[in-house]
Amino acid sequence: QGWGVRTLQRIRKNSFVMEYVGEIITSEEAERRGQVYDRQGATYLFDLDYVEDVYTVDAAHYGNISHFVNHSCDPNLQVYNVFIENLDQRLPRIALFATRPIRAGEELTFDYNMH
């Protein structure tokens, strides 16, 4: 369990909440870093495998508040691949949207094992 993130205000269903931000690295580099992170007991790797598994976002050293959002099997955020100023389908940006109305003070979560 990580730190967790709680919202200070009410969030409407289907609203954009935040982008998962980090360093864009190759999947090979992500494998290498992942082994180190596993030994440390924490990882912030997010595979960009929308079309092919070429790149990964690593939020360990560079990122935003999304780095602290925890996993839930009943999440209130859903992950979407979005394309802004870029048409390379291997490099989507990771957007988190509210799946339902979220109360002020509620913890924000998403499912790390998306399908």
* Alpha carbons 35 and 29: distance in angstroms, whole number: 10
> Quick one: which of 1, 3, 15 has its CA closest to 63?
3
Binding site: which residues?
73
Residues marked active site are found at 20, 112
Bridge partner residues of 93 (DSSP): 82
Give CA separation, 79 vs 33, 75, 99, in Å. 23, 10, 10
Bridge partner residues of 47 (DSSP): 56
Binding site for Zn(2+): which residues?
73
Q: Is 21 exposed, middle or buried (0-12, 13-18, 19+ CB in 10 A)?
A: middle
